Structure 1
Amino acid sequence: MAVRRFSLGLMFAALAALGPIACGSGASDLTRVAVIGTEPKLVETVSVPLTAGEALIRSNVAQGLVRFDERGQVVPGLAERWNVSDDGLSYIFRLQTGEWPDGRKIKADEVARIISRQLRPSSKNPLKDTLGAVREIVAMTDRVIEIRLNAPRPNLLQLLAQPEFGLVRASVGTGPFQPATAEQIAPLPAELKKLPGIFLAHRIRIPDAEDPVEKIHLSGGDAQKLIAAFANGDLELLLGGTVGDLPYAFMAKLPRGARRFDPVAGLFGLAPTGRREALKERDVRRLLSTAIDRDALIAGLHVNGLQPRATILQSGLEGVGAPQQPAWIAQPVIERRQALVAEARRLFGKVELPNLRILLPAGPGGDYLLARLRYDWGPLGIRVDRAPTLASADLVWIDEVAPSSSPAWFLRRFRCDMVPVCLEDADPLLDQARLTPDSAQRAQLFLEAARMMDDAQLFIPIAAPIRWSLVSGRAPGFEENPFARHTLVGLAEIGNSGGLR
């Protein structure tokens, strides 16, 4: 199913039934937010990974049953409350009373259908597999939905809070923000009314006070230009930073503390594409992994707290503790280089060593990764070039944030129906883990599958992913969080009639 993107004009028409947005005494306050990449658009049917802008707009104008707050904690979304059965197999959500922007009452059966569509076999939602334990979603009354599971999933709410499971109907969502026009945001200076991008508004209910409105202007664009705009004071918040554009953030002259890094978990490293025969050999992949000086690579990124790792799983995941790293990772590369060169000769003999083509992140951050790999693999006689396309790549750099604290996502990412170089013996363990009701047994199955995958070197891990933002003092509500999903609710102080802070 193709991704459908809808113009804001359609959204404004659908929202017209709500009437003009009432403005309190803070009406002239506008928080200017930008996200690196293409202009944010609402995606109704998610069939490919969302861009940073698409994820941001979807999570803020089309909340799911639950959503993330600024700290990455799950809070009520369309559901005002929920209960979990003692056996963990049933989640019951009670919906808030409300209407879709066209005036139709929000009912549980329609919400259940919207979520179920994302999980049907034909769905291409990238996170569909993470909800594989869901047996059915049923409407019990007009305002009550039950999600029934085949096995307990303590992280279910984290997954439902992801923007991929935001509720969109007829190209509009239920908030917490609504698209608005410059006239609805007014009064604004004329130059602000002409800004390219999207105006959003969110009415805050504060007892015994006039209801203020949070007003956001959201845009996308080139990393260098947006960083310069932030440095000039034209933006309060810049989101969507990754390793590719990270050097730009360090080259700019910014206020102290402006650079902020989310403590995310995920995959950050290299995976073979199956294009080159040599990389189908475990010992070759292991040679490449062992030859990377992770400490030096991470030091050059200048991200405090980023830790090297050589395992698919990382510390802090649900039920698996801290994965044991191989002994060689603590040994300086210079001390193991002689053995690595000898191993390269053994593996390749007199055959010319491969010239590996790697698909890397765009931008100077990708250039840095390429230079590090050339430096580390050069002494082995292995040459490295950038691949212009995935089809021409021998290795691809994976840079993905985990959607929950479960180890399942990390391991299922390397199933045989997902990647060309896999381990068939590990797949049954993951299938068994999906169905087991016992959390301790589930964790042991994950650990065994992880051990097998690491031994087979299906992936060459480096560290956790990097997600960064630029935050000014005019956005005091921003906080780093473990999913790098940022709500626009509560970013700034609002007026004198009852602010957020």
Structure 2
Amino acid sequence: MAARRFICFGLCLAATACGPKFSAKSGSPADTLTWAIPFELTTLDPATATEGRAFDVLRQVYEGLLAIDERGQVVPALADRWEISDDGRTYLFHLHPRVRFGDGRPFTSADVVGSYERACLPEMRSPLAPDYLKDIVGVDEVVKGAARHLAGLRAVDPLTVEIKLREPRPSFLSRLAYPVCAIVPAGSPEIRDAAQMIGTGPFIPVSRTTTGLEMKANLAYWGGTPKLSHLSIRFVPDSGTRLNLFRTGEVDLTSVPSGDVPGVRREPSLAKALVVTPRADVSYLQFNAISEPVLKDPRVRRALALCIDRKRIATDISGGVPIPAATLIPPGVPGHEEADVPPADPAAARRLLAEAGYPGGKRFPPIQIAYQDTQRENPAVEAIVTMWRKELGIEATGRGIPAPALREANLARRLPCFFTAWVGDYPDPDDFASMLLRTGSSANGSSYSNPRVDQMLDAADRMPLGPARLERYRAAETAALADAPIVPLLFLRDAELVSGRVQGLKHGAFGHSSFSTVSVRP
């Protein structure tokens, strides 16, 4: 593992008794937070990022006009106030004065315009930005390469930005809080190394290797000087290794797979450090008929879904941390509705499979469930394939795939079955229903297309905030799930180990907030 590197501020002080105090952790300053995460960052650029948990890291560097706090509320960030026209199509954002990027250059409206246009350029190949910014006039033209500038975006003056939408969109403010809408300096190239990670956030990247990312405090941070001098992030895929690093005090913060939680709770020193937080996340099984024609038949998809015992996966397989899910919209997000979790019904599943032409699983092609290879096998996936083999007589297996290859295969729609999760981006039902179920959405990995569902989603997206809008989303969700293009499995909760020396950590339904107020005791 590469040695951790730190930048020394004020060399004249380093040789005196007033220098920084050091901890036993590899000679790092005592006010360093060491955070072990279960994956390597596949991108350092907010415009091209897709992994929801990676945004917890990126938001320590980058910020948007708006943010989502630990209560799940949209709050001011780089924009301290805004105005909306009576017709809901024009937004005027007033920017915080005296904000500077980590390299010292001033933040202005030109950076907002440049960041949004940059994210939509075809050469950036952003999987998500065109969806999150699509309501701005001119996005389609830029995405297609017919224009280089967004017609609906204008820098009125250095501290004012005007955004014009094609039509009213109640969720627009929430979307701007999503990290793909973060602001980088105008003219930034695609960000490929730590030196290029220039944001307005509380930390400045110093170095990045295959084993970690080192950051120093942004002493000129507009939100107040961070209490930490350094943030050290380690990429540690193996959960057992992360637990051992926490036991020995080498890391202060790390995630715990739900299947490991029962063992953690039996170990007193770890149990008192365990923190479980509800997330606005849902895990689900995605079917794609493009890569496996047998899945075109909704009877087949429903049969596979009916065999899955979600309650058993939540309790016996996943340590009781997640909650069985019957819908896509999770608790804490407007539009969530409590619903009975469908029990496993193998007899009904066998009848449906026989109706589809595969009695007893005969002539059914082998099927494989892909999942992210963060550990050698995924217990939930193994449970599902066992249920299918036992109850339906089909040949089913699970396959772990490294994150970069998995992402590429999913975007290319090459995965017949995919066990995955949608990590909530912002507190609005369109983030789940519209993103996962609408025809052509970048997040619609099942390639599901239903004109009736699209019409309901389009109507809901345009409706003013209120009960009628939420009911329309629920109706669209119900209609789509009857076709079983995806099967909601679990509403997720984060399990983390937090050292007793860590103070001020904020963790809500949409992940970790800024670490600017976090401190560590020596």
TM-score by length of structure 1 reads: 0.77
Question: How far does the alpha carbon of each residue in 1:362-402 deviate from its partner, in whole angstroms, 9 at most, with x for none?
Answer: 24584311321133222221232124666674211121212
Q: Which residue of 2 aligns with 1:414?
A: 437
SS of the residue 1:43 aligns to? coil
Matches of 1:19 and 1:137, distance apart in 2: 42
Partner of 1:489: 516
In the alignment, which residue of structure 2 is the partner of 1:177?
A: 203
Higher deviation after alignment, 80-89 or 127-136? 80-89
CA distance in 2, matches of 1:152, 1:304: 42
Residues 25-70 of structure 1 show CA distances to partners (whole Å, capped at 9, x for unaligned) of 89433232224245558723622414745x3442112222233445
Q: Percent identity?
A: 22
Distance in 1 between residues matched to 2:400 and 2:506, nearest whole Å: 36
User: Per the alignment, do residues 472 and 445 of structure 1 end up closer, same or farther by CA in structure 2, a change over 3 Å counting?
Assistant: same
Aligned to 1:281: 297
- Cα deviation for residue 453 of structure 1 reads 0.4
Of residues 132, 135, 145, the one that matches 2:134 is 132
Give runs of aligned pairs for residues 61-460 of structure 1, distance below 5 A. 61-84=61-84, 88-89=88-89, 90-119=91-120, 124-135=126-137, 136-169=152-185, 170=188, 171=196, 172-179=198-205, 197-203=213-219, 213-222=227-236, 223=238, 224-239=240-255, 245-248=257-260, 250-251=262-263, 253=267, 254-274=269-289, 275-302=291-318, 306-318=322-334, 320-322=335-337, 324-325=339-340, 329=342, 331=343, 333=344, 336-347=345-356, 348-349=358-359, 351-364=362-375, 366-377=377-388, 378-387=390-399, 393-412=415-434, 413-417=436-440, 418=444, 419-437=446-464, 439=466, 442-460=469-487
Distance 1:302 1:387, change over 3 A: closer
User: One-letter code of the match for 1:340?
Assistant: A
What amino acid maps onto 2:63 in structure 1? Q
Sort the Cα spacing of 1:214 and 1:459 in 2 relative to 1 into closer, same or farther, 3 A.
Answer: same
Give, in angstroms, the shift of residue 460 of structure 1: 1.0
Change (3 A) 1:227 1:213: same
Task: Indicate how the Cα distance of structure 1 residues 83 and 301 shifts in structure 2: closer, same or farther if over 3 A, else same.
Answer: farther
Q: Any idea what SS the aligned residue of 1:225 has?
A: helix
Provide, for residues 114-156 of structure 1, a one-character-per-residue CA deviation record: whole Å limited to 9, x for no partner: 1233245775242431333334332222112233334554544
Identify the range of structure 1 (467-476 vs 288-297) with the bigger mean alpha-carbon deviation: 467-476
Q: Give the Cα separation in 2 of the matches to 1:456 and 1:288.
A: 12
Separation in structure 1 between the aligned mates of residue 306 and residue 331 of structure 2, nearest angstrom? 20
Q: Is the 8 A contact 1:59 1:163 kept in 2?
A: yes
Kindly provide the amino acid, as one letter, of the partner of residue 349 in structure 2: L
The 5-angstrom pairing of residues 17-32 of structure 1 reads 27-28=20-21, 29-32=30-33
CA contact (8 A) 2:328 2:488 kept: yes
Q: Is the 8 A contact 2:217 2:226 kept in 1?
A: no
- Contact map agreement 1:291 1:376 (CA 8 A) in 2: yes
Q: Is the 8 A contact 1:263 1:481 kept in 2?
A: yes
Cα shift at 1:72: 4.9
- Please give the root-mean-square deviation of Cα atoms over the aligned residues, in Å: 3.9
Q: Given residue 395 of structure 2, which amino acid in structure 1 is its aligned partner?
A: R
Provide the rounded CA distance (Å) in 2 between the counterparts of 1:267 and 1:443.
Answer: 18
Read off the aligned partner of 2:430 and give its amino acid letter.
A
Q: Which letter does structure 1 place at the counterpart of 2:391?
A: P
Q: Is the 8 A contact 2:382 2:397 kept in 1?
A: no
Letter in 2 for 1:65: L
Unmatched runs of 5 consecutive residues or more in structure 2? 22-29, 138-151, 189-195
Query: How far apart, in 2, do the equivalents of 1:226 and 1:296 lie?
Result: 27
Distance 2:293 2:226 in 1: 62
Check conservation: 2:372, 2:400, Cα contact below 8 A. Answer: no
TM-score (norm 2): 0.74
The answer to whether the aligner puts 1:477 opposite 2:479 as a matched pair is no
